[in-house]
Chain A
Amino acid sequence: MIEEVDLDHAAERAQALMAGQVRGRVVVRI
């Protein structure tokens, strides 16, 4: 339930989060 993305993909995952398309927590590797 923990998804990891890098900084370059954070905005894209934020869009998905607001669209209800993210399951669990997202951590952003800086």
Chain B
Amino acid sequence: MFRALLLEKEPQFHASVQSLDESRLPDADVHVRVAYSTLNYKDGLAITNKSPVVRAWPMVAGIDGAGTVIASSHPHWKAGDSFVHNGWGVGETHWGCLAEQAKLKGDGLVKLPPAFTPRQAMAIGTAGYTAMLCVMALEQQGVKPGSGEVLVTGATGGVGSVAIAVLAKLGYQVVAATGKTSEEAYLKGLGAHSLMDRAELSAAGKPFQKERWAGVVDAVGSHTLANVLAQTRYGGAVAACGLAQGMDLPTTVMPFILRNVRLIGVDSVMAPLALRQQAWARLAQDLDIASWKA
């Protein structure tokens, strides 16, 4: 038997911790013991049933997990190996990691970097791993330390906080856009050079604005993303990974055709394994976990 946070739809939605028989675990080639999971925004949506995140019932919640392999028929995994897991539909269509045990696909698991404990890996979670994918996307577009100011929107969020910490450690001059100006000390502690009130970005703006940003990590979408595109310098790049303000994008082609601005979409859920491995290796190298207080 193992304990798990089970989401049930009938007779009405209900989330509760239950003891389940191991025979109920779904088929997958790596059987794991989860040490830590986390609560991402998507987990919140699933556990409170506020959005149709869960697409198979009943469902064990938890899109992220870290722990140790119990048994494996996958050639790259053996009992005792430490793993970290993000996404792949786990906690949505396949039983997840808010549970003492899970069965996961070995092709999607990443070796836990020695730099991190399972708890630290889950403090980083999908949010932090997505932030690293965004930083790597900017690098691939030629945005370098010294290129100019780099903006991080949604700065106090999971993506934003890790993006600031990593970019600052790499030597970028980071501006943090937030609605929580009371968090100035926290954001500057992460490495932000200065703060920007998110209200300056959240309303409809002109399609072409004064050039400022060499690069942007945006977890907000909607008017905020449209405005940062309009403010991005010639040849700059914007990595978009979220929709905290909205899923719309009320922009024009002007930044793209007159300033050669690149808009890079970043998905973490179905990202290929090699990219995940690279992102976690980069987090181990470029995120100062001690100062991030995980």
Residues of A within 8 A of B (CB): 1-2, 4, 7-8, 10-11, 13-15, 17-18, 22, 24-30
**Inter-subunit contact B100/A11 (CB<8 Å):** no
**Inter-subunit contact B38/A26 (CB<8 Å):** yes
| Residues of B78-120 contacting chain A, CB below 8 A | 97-100, 119
Tally of B interface residues using CB under 8 Å: 36
Residues of B within 8 A of A (CB): 3-5, 15-17, 34-39, 41, 43-45, 47-48, 50, 61-62, 67, 97-100, 119, 122-123, 125, 127, 158, 161, 186, 293-294
Using known A-B contacts A11-B5, A14-B47, A18-B45, determine if residue A27 contacts B127 with beta carbons closer than 8 Å: no
Given contact pairs A27-B37, A27-B122, a sample of 5 additional A-B residue pairs in the complex whose CB atoms are under 8 Å apart? A7-B98, A10-B47, A28-B37, A28-B39, A30-B36
With both beta carbons as reference points, the residue of chain B lying nearest to A9 in the complex is identified as: B17
Whole-angstrom CA separation of A7 from B122 in the bound complex: 14
**Inter-subunit contact B50/A28 (CB<8 Å):** no
**Inter-subunit contact A4/B45 (CB<8 Å):** no
**Inter-subunit contact A27/B119 (CB<8 Å):** yes
User: Which residues of A lie under 8 Å from residue B45 when comparing CB positions?
Assistant: 18
SS of B interface (majority): mixed
Min distance, Cβ A2 to any Cβ of chain B, angstroms: 5
User: Which residues of A lie under 8 Å from residue B62 when comparing CB positions?
Assistant: 28
Whole-angstrom CA separation of A15 from B5 in the bound complex: 14
**Inter-subunit contact A1/B293 (CB<8 Å):** yes
Which one of A2, A18, A25, A29 has the greatest number of beta carbons of chain B within 10 Å?
Answer: A25
Whole-angstrom CA separation of A15 from B239 in the bound complex: 30
User: Which residues of A lie under 8 Å from residue B99 when comparing CB positions?
Assistant: 7, 30
Using known A-B contacts A7-B17, A8-B17, determine if residue A2 contacts B123 with beta carbons closer than 8 Å: yes
Using known A-B contacts A10-B39, A25-B125, A28-B36, determine if residue A15 contacts B98 with beta carbons closer than 8 Å: no
In the assembled complex, 19 residue pairs joining A and B whose CB atoms fall closer than 8 Å, in A order, are A4-B119, A7-B4, A7-B17, A7-B99, A10-B37, A10-B39, A14-B44, A14-B48, A15-B47, A17-B41, A18-B44, A18-B48, A22-B39, A25-B123, A26-B39, A27-B36, A28-B36, A28-B98, A30-B34
User: Which residues of B lie under 8 Å from residue A15 when comparing CB positions?
Assistant: 47-48
User: Which residues of A lie under 8 Å from residue B39 when comparing CB positions?
Assistant: 10, 13-14, 17, 22, 26, 28
Min distance, Cβ B152 to any Cβ of chain A, angstroms: 16
Using known A-B contacts A2-B293, A15-B48, A27-B38, determine if residue A7 contacts B127 with beta carbons closer than 8 Å: no
With both beta carbons as reference points, the residue of chain A lying nearest to B190 in the complex is identified as: A1
**Inter-subunit contact A30/B294 (CB<8 Å):** no
